[in-house]
Amino acid sequence: MKRRTFIQTTGLASAAMMMPKFLKAHQQNTTANSGKILVVIQLTGGNDGLNTVVPFENDLYYNARPTIAIQKNTTLKLDSQLGLHPALQGIKKLYDDGNVCLINNVGYPEPDRSHFRSMDIWQTASKSNEYKSTGWLGRYLDEQCNDCKQPTQLIEIDDTLSLAMKGENKKGLAVKDVKRLYSTTTSPFIHTLSNQHQLGDHSHENAEYLYKTLVDTVASAEYIYKTSKIYQSAASYPNHEFGKSMKTISELIVSGVDTKVYYVSLGTFDTHYNQLVRQESLLKQLAETVEVFMNDMKKNGKADDVLLMTFSEFGRRVEENASKGTDHGTANQIFIFGNQLKKNGVYNEAPNLSNLDEGDLKFSVDFKNIYATLLNKWMNTDEQSILGAKYQTLDFI
């Protein structure tokens, strides 16, 4: 049987096949990470940064957006120049508590305005003229657990695994519903397959790979499911997909599942038309959920060990289009959420609307500097070997 046919037949494409040698319940592993956890929130589709963090004193902003600009009196003021979109009340509360660092003008040289290509650049931490088949977090896994009996665990709350989570030798696990994964792996059909095959028969390499993956996945699913039952959050997470995903992450963290990176997406932010309603809804989902999650971490004594980062593959153009929306742009902002920030608030200068690149914002912070900072200072690993070059770290942590 071909790999693709086997995967489709078993229904394990999302979780089981992504990670050979992932994790077994009877094994324990200690890494240099010291319990620090990173949660990456991908704002898929290209979130409009100028309507997220609003330059409410800048006339150029209002001239460029006569119908979709966020009005000054509705913004949630951060300082004398910038305010948050009114839907971001939950984030404003965290900001006031000192748990938010806002980094403006994040991007990369020679930006690409294609969703797919720009997302690949962000997920692989490549230059715009480079094409890589491994993600920055997947390479972290390869580097961190080169000699481990099991890799340091990466979990994406989704049906499929993002490129960011794929290394050369090891990969993360994609799982949307822990209970469903466990139920699937304990079905009679899967149980029979995993018990009947004898590993070590190398006469059929593809079949050997699939069976080995299946055996390890069954053990992984059992470990995650049983461990995650230790803590069931009583916090009032919003009843939408993003809220449910973040609740799952919270329960896995507090239960003590051995995971270093969680990855989750929210979208789509591709607001070419009627932007105001769509973006408001998504930003509200983001803010209300992150607020509950961070408070959940504080309540359970995990706030010092968890750091959240948001990113989007690009921002939007400065001028609105004819459809009361915005088209693909370049630089954008990143939010960092945490209880251990060394520099909170607005990290750097606001976007310069009088110095544009053919109608787009110019970046001043390469996103790979942020990755280098997280890898070096939070994840305690060699950022240069993972990113392939030396990038200056920042001082937000």
Question: Read out DSSP for 278-289?
Answer: HHHHHHHHHHHH
Q: What number is the average pLDDT over the span 29-38?
A: 63
DSSP state of 259: E
- May I ask the CATH architecture of the domain 3-387? 3-Layer(aba) Sandwich (3.40)
What letters, b where the CB count within 10 A reaches 16 and e where it falls short, cover 103-141?
A: bbbbbbeebbeebeebbbbbbbbbbeeeebebbbbbbbb
Distances (CA, A) of 55 to 59, 305, 356: 9, 33, 15
Q: What is the pLDDT of residues 230-248, one digit of tens each?
A: 889 999 999 999 999 999 9
CB 61 within 8 A of CB 296: no
Minimum mean pLDDT range among 42-56, 212-226, 262-276, 313-327? 212-226
Percent of the chain scoring above 90 in pLDDT: 71
CB 385 within 8 A of CB 144: no
Q: What is the pLDDT of residues 169-220, one digit of tens each?
A: 888 888 888 877 777 767 676 667 666 655 555 556 666 656 666 666 676 7
The mean pLDDT of the chain is 87
- Token readout for 336 is 């960092």
CA dihedral 371, 376, 378, 379 (to 10 degrees): 90
The one-letter code for the residue type at 172 is: G
Longest dimension (CA), the chain: 71
Query: For residue 204, what pLDDT is reported?
Result: 62
- Stretch (H or E) spanning 223: helix 205-228
Q: Are strands 76-77 and 83-84 parallel, antiparallel or unpaired?
A: antiparallel
Q: How many of the other CB atoms lie within 10 Å of CB of 383? A: 25
- Token readout for 14 is 């999302």
